[in-house]
């Protein structure tokens, strides 16, 4: 499998399904939930996320998915991006992942002393309600293989269910992800031909 998408606290939604399909074949989606939430309220989803999973358990789920699916690329959103950051850092260089793309992974602020061994692109929100983005970027910017981009958008700009969804930003970053995904899908297909 080429790509693993690690969802935010809204879980596996129709919007994530369309995003995954837009990337091509060889895509697996990981949600923090055992049973997907019926509610679309962000506060309800967050409470359910903490009750069913939480940040630590989500990182463990990502680790298990990496071991099972052996993806080349991980795309993570919010809590999913932070969970992937933690999981990849804990696995060291012993995983298959070559790149992590993380959108507004705000919990990274609590894990600045670690860094995955793969290349990482982080797209931060312009502002976050719980912390100042700039000092986090300052602490991360000198880490090798890590690009930090402070976007002009708000947390949730890639999620149609978020009040901060931005259609232009979604289209722009979806195209970025499609371009990156295409590279990994081609590599996995070539590897399959030769094995």
b/e per residue, 120-129, with b = 16+ CB within 10 A? bbbbbbeeee
Q: pLDDT at residue 55 above 90?
A: yes
Tokens 């923090």: give the residue.
32
Instruction: Look at 195 and 124; give whichever has higher pLDDT.
Output: 124
In the predicted model, is pLDDT for residue 188 greater than 80?
no
CATH architecture of 3-194: 3-Layer(aba) Sandwich (3.40)
Mean pLDDT of 146-150: 97
Q: Read off the pTM.
A: 0.95
Mean pLDDT of 170-180: 97
pLDDT of residue 117: 92
Q: What share of the chain is helix, strand, coil (3-state, %, to 5)?
A: 45, 15, 40
Residue 93 has pLDDT above 70, yes or no: no
pLDDT of residue 70: 94
| pLDDT value of position 37 | 82
Percent of the chain with pLDDT over 70: 97
Q: Regarding predicted confidence, which is higher, 40 or 41? A: 41
- The alpha carbon torsion through 176, 180, 186, 191 (nearest 10 deg) reads -160
Rounded to the nearest 5°, which phi and psi values hold at 41? -70, 130
């Amino acid at each position: 499998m080429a790509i693993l998408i690690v969802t935010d606290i809204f879980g596996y939604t129709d919007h994530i399904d369309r995003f995954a399909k837009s990337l091509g074949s060889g895509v697996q989606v990981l949600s923090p939930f055992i049973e997907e939430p019926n509610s679309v309220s962000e506060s309800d989803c967050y409470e359910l996320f903490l009750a069913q999973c939480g940040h630590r358990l989500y990182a463990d789920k990502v680790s298990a998915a990496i071991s099972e699916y052996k993806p080349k690329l991980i795309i993570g959103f919010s809590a999913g991006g932070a969970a992937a950051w933690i999981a990849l850092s804990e696995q060291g260089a012993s995983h298959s992942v070559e790149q992590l793309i993380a959108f507004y992974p705000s919990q990274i602020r609590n894990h600045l002393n670690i860094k995955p061994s793969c290349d990482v692109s982080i797209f931060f929100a312009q502002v976050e309600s719980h912390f100042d983005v700039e000092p986090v970027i300052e602490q991360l910017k000198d880490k090798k293989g890590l690009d930090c981009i402070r976007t002009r958008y708000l947390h949730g700009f890639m999620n149609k269910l978020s009040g901060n969804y931005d259609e232009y930003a979604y289209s722009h970053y979806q195209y970025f992800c499609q371009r990156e995904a295409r590279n990994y899908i081609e590599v996995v297909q070539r590897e399959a031909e030769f094995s």
